[in-house]
Structure 1
């Protein structure tokens, strides 16, 4: 079974290496998808993989890298199951 979610992380999450950290963490968990900065200062990601691995990534996103200060996270179901190969950093949207 594959779970796919879209997460938006708020707080001090830009300029602290959050995207690179998210990519490394997602790959270490065997997840696929992408991560990008948003113009509103948040970070958005689509995470896809085994449900327990996706949950582990969501938990990790609540903390983020050492220099981040996460103030909130929104998790929504995503319909992109099967649409990704690997995990990429995308351009700001």
Structure 2
């Protein structure tokens, strides 16, 4: 997995109720990026991307604007070890 990178992002702003998660899933699948996305209770969106470095970077760039109805204020990014994720899914909001 040397050519695979793992990034976790948290996106803040008007990012819930604007199709951010589903559009993120579509964008990731179109790029062959694996991972998941979910809403968090604090109004942010969390996503994990795994794939080729250039494809993951494209997803990170996308998160800075999201779908047309979104208004992104801040994106935080953390690196990590690839987990071998496959596919891309929308996960449920975690319970408190």
What band does the TM-score fall into relative to the shorter chain?
A: over 0.9
Q: Which runs of 5 or more structure 1 residues have no equivalent in the other structure?
A: none
Q: Does 2:92 match 1:91?
A: yes
TM-score (ref. length: structure 2): 0.93
CA displacement, residues 20-73 of structure 1 (integer Å, 9 cap, x when unaligned): 000000001100000000000000000000000000000011010000000000
After the TM superposition, which parts of structure 1 deviate over 4 Å for at least 4 consecutive aligned residues?
none
What is the root-mean-square deviation of aligned Cα atoms in Å? 0.7
TM-score (ref. length: structure 1): 0.96
Query: How many equivalent residue pairs?
Result: 92
The aligned counterpart of 1:75 is 77
Q: Which runs of 5 or more structure 2 residues have no equivalent in the other structure?
A: none
